[in-house]
Amino acid sequence: MATLIHCPIIISAAGFPPKQIAEYVGRRNTATEAVSIAHMISPGGWSEPGQQAQFDEYTVVLRGVVAVDTHTGTDHVRAGQAVIVQKGEWVRYRTPESEGAEYLSVCLPAFSPGGVRRDAPVAVDTIKQGRESCTT
């Protein structure tokens, strides 16, 4: 049977300045452990600590540029492009340009705060106001 997801859960994220995560499918919004699908809106100048996640992450940039730093260099992923980061690979995401970026992130298995394995201690992702942005 199909499951309609009426709206995402809004989650605050690691990094500065604050980035918004709207999780449509994942551990928090749908109790799905196999995959997470989220819409990200990241302001210009945002960056987060490096990480070695315990999931594969697929990122599709819709607007702006997402810089993806790895041990082999930096890729600037632009609107209409995508990047795949494999489980266990060190990566740091940031949005270096002033207009920020908007992108989709898919994680297999689903994102979890414990599975992200960040370089430096940061506040664990928290649910801000639940489904505050949803109009049903």
Main-chain dihedrals φ then ψ at residue 70, nearest 5 degrees: -130, 180
Q: What pLDDT is attached to residue 135? A: 56
pLDDT confidence tier of residue 112, bands split at 50, 70 and 90: confident
Superfamily for domain range 10-116: Jelly Rolls (2.60.120.10)
- Assess whether pLDDT exceeds 90 at residue 107: yes
3-state secondary structure of 115: helix
Give residue limits of the domains in the chain: 10-116
Phi-psi sector, 9: left (phi>0), alpha (psi -120 to 50), beta: beta
What pLDDT, in 10s, does the model give residues 59-92? Answer: 999 999 999 999 999 999 999 999 999 999 999 9
Tokens, residue 13: 């994220």
